[in-house]
Amino acid sequence: MPDATFLQWPFFDRRHRELAARLNRWAPKHAGHSGNVDDDCRRLVKALGKGGWLEHAAPANGRLDVRTLCLVRETLARHSGLADFSFAMQGLGSGPITLFGTPAQRRRYLADVRAGKKIAAFALTEPDAGSDVAALATSARADGNGYLLNGEKTFISNGGIADFYVVFARTGEPGSRGISAFIVDAGNPGLAIAERIEVMAPHPLARLAFTDCRIGRDALVGKPGEGFKVAMGTLDVFRTTVGAAALGFARRALDEALGRVTRRELFGARMAELPLVQAQLAQMALDVDASALLVYRSAWTRDRGAERVTREASMAKLHATESAQRVIDTAVQLFGGLGVTSGVAVEALYREIRALRIYEGASEVQKLVIARQVLGAHR
Ligand SMILES: Cc1cc2nc3c(=O)[nH]c(=O)nc-3n(C[C@H](O)[C@H](O)[C@H](O)COP(=O)(O)OP(=O)(O)OC[C@H]3O[C@@H](n4cnc5c(N)ncnc54)[C@H](O)[C@@H]3O)c2cc1C
């Protein structure tokens, strides 16, 4: 049984504890995979919509409860990386509309996102602008009553299966002030899936090409030049939830390891009795609890009304993803040869966790953000 004592921490209300219990019952019934990630994701998004879980990813009242987002991601990640991915991308992909969209944009997209009828994507990264977001070069040139988009986006989750993309493009001066955000429907003739990208933990991912892609003025999210603010404001919410997904992977690894060491006999005793094994378990449990504290502190701070949680979210993401990698690696080690066998849970977790240390701001970027925050506060 996974440790659920953290749900008694003062960060949570009764509704959070009830939601975690319900989702723990729901997730195992829907976590199976067919081997075709596109089909699996479409099925999962529909199931998440039908189950009501996407209400939390794109809430009708426009208020994202970050503790709920984190609890859902942590719980789904413990059962299935793809289920967590499907939930998270509905939230991240529609997040700019939830947080900065017009009432008409919300009406047009969010009800379908909540119902699992429209799949969302967030298109920021470019071949030459990943960590350095402000270097992005995709252009949006004003033309008639709208804009023409030209350029490329890469590593776009849900690329190829999304119904719409929130795309960040340059409308003005170089740097962060010249960027705007737009909604582009997948059927737009100027948008092509240039390449499907395969990764070590499979999920839908693509490079997108925009060629004179025409969009109306009503596709603009926020004001012209506010795209960087829209992207960072959205990531400020969802970055904490990446930490929550890492926490879910780490908890699963710890559970798997506990199951193994209490069953496996080594040198005439159970592995769990070996002092070096106990030291490893202690470090894993410590890493898991420290991550949980940082993740839910960040979520709670935001839910309590903080406008930005830049420092808390970066700390949560950095610690939870880096320590989950260690926890999972230890679990693989404790499994011995079995740990690197395809189809074993810890082997899948080992592949699942890796990208989380890179996307939504690599660990090095999080360190820079945290340093800037603490230096700023010291002045
Ligand atoms: C599985 C996956 C899913 C993704 N999904 C999306 C998505 O849906 N939408 C989207 O827009 N993007 C997405 N991305 C892209 C992701 O956000 C970028 O890969 C990430 O921001 C890093 O950019 P980059 O790959 O260009 O690496 P680079 O920017 O080239 O950085 C390379 C490495 O340099 C190091 N580094 C970076 N900055 C510094 C620094 N200042 N000092 C020292 N070292 C540094 C880091 O270790 C980093 O990993 C996804 C990526 C992956 C792998």
Angle at 16 between CA 157 and CA 99, to 5 degrees: 45
What is the per-residue pLDDT for 378? 87
What is the per-residue pLDDT for 379? 79
What is the per-residue pLDDT for 35? 84
Q: Per-residue pLDDT for 314 more than 80?
A: yes
pTM of the model: 0.97
Q: Are 318 and 363 in contact (CB under 8 A)?
A: yes
What is the per-residue pLDDT for 31? 83
- CA dihedral 185→191→196→202, nearest 10 degrees, is -20
Q: Whose CA is nearest to atom 33 of ligand 1?
A: 362
What is the per-residue pLDDT for 166? 98
* Interatomic CA distance for residues 246 and 226, integer angstroms: 30
DSSP codes, 347-367: HHHHHHHHGGGTTTS-HHHHH
Of 155, 351, 364, 366, the one to substitute when testing ligand 1's pocket (max ligand atoms within 8 A of C-beta) is 155
Gap from CA of 232 to ligand 1 centroid (Å):
15
Nearest atom within ligand 1 for CA of residue 132: 29
Q: Does 359 contact ligand 1 (Cβ within 6 A)?
A: yes
pLDDT digits (tens, 9 = 90+) for 224-239: 999 999 999 999 899 9
Segment 27-36 mean pLDDT: 88
Q: Does 199 contact ligand 1 (Cβ within 6 A)?
A: yes
Q: Per-residue pLDDT for 346 more than 70?
A: yes
Active-site residue (options: 74, 198, 360, 364): 360
pLDDT averaged over the chain? 96
* Interatomic CA distance for residues 127 and 110, integer angstroms: 29
pLDDT digits (tens, 9 = 90+) for 248-302: 999 999 999 999 999 999 999 999 999 999 999 999 999 999 999 999 999 999 9
Say if strands 265-266 and 269-270 run parallel, antiparallel, or are unpaired. antiparallel
Q: Does 368 contact ligand 1 (Cβ within 6 A)?
A: yes
- For 212, the token pair is 């004179």
Q: What is the CA radius of gyration of the chain?
A: 21
Of 131, 154, 198, 239, the one to substitute when testing ligand 1's pocket (max ligand atoms within 8 A of C-beta) is 131
Is 347 labeled as catalytic in the residue annotation?
A: no
Segment 17-42 mean pLDDT: 93
* Interatomic CA distance for residues 259 and 265, integer angstroms: 12
CB burial string 275-301: b at 16+ within 10 A, e below = eebeebbeebbebbeebbbbbbbbbbb
Of 41, 122, 125, 354, the one to substitute when testing ligand 1's pocket (max ligand atoms within 8 A of C-beta) is 125
What is the per-residue pLDDT for 1? 61
pLDDT digits (tens, 9 = 90+) for 87-106: 999 999 999 999 999 999 99
Q: Does 157 contact ligand 1 (Cβ within 6 A)?
A: yes
pLDDT digits (tens, 9 = 90+) for 102-146: 999 999 999 999 999 999 999 999 999 999 999 999 999 999 999
Phi, psi of 214 (to 5 degrees): -90, 130
* Interatomic CA distance for residues 209 and 270, integer angstroms: 56
